[in-house]
Homo-oligomer: A and B are copies of this chain.
């Protein structure tokens, strides 16, 4: 078993950072579309362990990666709570029954992993038999899930969420608490099923100002992670730059930072907590020499311990395969022992 990822997460000496990237199983791979198009929809793919395991393995066949992440979607738990989720082509996820009033929360049931989301555990079981790299499990963070559930999908300004949050702060806290408890159970179940690490995705936390982040999103993320044991717990937010001084309060073991966050500042603020990141996914649109230069700069700035190489956000659907090769090769060629 390749344990580079786990050693880096323990800040042990490594010759180079481990490399994997968010959404590495996905739309930029033609073989992904083959599987996806053989099924009635995106959720059907998430819910078919055999197919979800297959697309999880696809990037590992092309690229020499040091970690894998189970194919799944962060909105599976809200769907398991009874929300009417549909993935619409060209639009993304849509909840047809958004939560707009505290009374709407009565509709939400407390799901169980085994009863309502068993496919995730089955996918993990298939994967752990075949993988020779550590497998990540993941969940959406409570604020990010609440944002989707209240907006009814993606949003630019999150005005429905803000309205709910400020008009009904107690109900919003209650929603976050329920989601945090579900996230915690869900992450623990993925570890118990064989995941070697888990990541909490607080993609939309940057909709909040720092005060609101510390009042709502941060304590909910902390609660989600608090009782999760047995594997390193990572925390990602797409606007990490604004929240760097408070990230440690989540209690996470490592932080994935976005591409706008200056790596030197992240290291300075986060101290010796391991950091993951932070190449701009858009850099993979560039020529190999540019990608190599950017990769090497990030590794240099992150330093020799406690760094996991990754993109600063999910890989884009139009990403050239050659760009990914250039990134992975540049990381693998690095050798701290030769510097």
Q: Which residues of A contact B (CB under 8 A)?
A: 157-159, 161-163, 165-167, 206-212, 239, 241-243, 245, 259-262, 278, 280-283, 285-287, 290, 294, 297, 312-313, 316, 318-319
Contact = CB atoms under 8 A, between A and B. Distances in A.
A281 to B, nearest CB: 7
A262 B211 CA distance: 9
B209 A159 contact: no
A249 to B, nearest CB: 15
Nearest to A313: B157
A157 B319 CA distance: 11
Given A157-B281, A157-B316, A239-B260, 6 more contacts: A158-B282, A159-B282, A165-B286, A210-B260, A210-B262, A241-B242
B206 A260 contact: yes
Contacts of A157: 281-282, 313, 316
B282 A167 contact: no
Contact of A318 (B159, B206, B245, B313): B159
A131 to B, nearest CB: 29
Contact of A209 (B280, B316, B318): B280
A161 B283 CA distance: 10
A312 B208 CA distance: 11
Contact of A166 (B159, B161, B211, B283): B283
B162 A280 contact: yes
Nearest to A207: B282
17 contacts: A157-B313, A159-B281, A159-B282, A159-B316, A159-B318, A162-B280, A162-B285, A163-B282, A165-B286, A166-B282, A166-B283, A166-B285, A209-B259, A209-B280, A212-B280, A239-B241, A242-B261
Nearest to A261: B242
Nearest to A260: B242
A282 B206 CA distance: 12
A259 B294 CA distance: 29
Contacts of A207: 282
A237 to B, nearest CB: 11
A73 to B, nearest CB: 17
Given A241-B239, A286-B162, A211 B261 contact: no
Contacts of A285: 159, 162-163, 166-167
Nearest to A166: B286
Contacts of A245: 262
Nearest to A156: B154
Contacts of A316: 157, 159
A126 B193 CA distance: 70
Contacts of A286: 162-163, 165-167
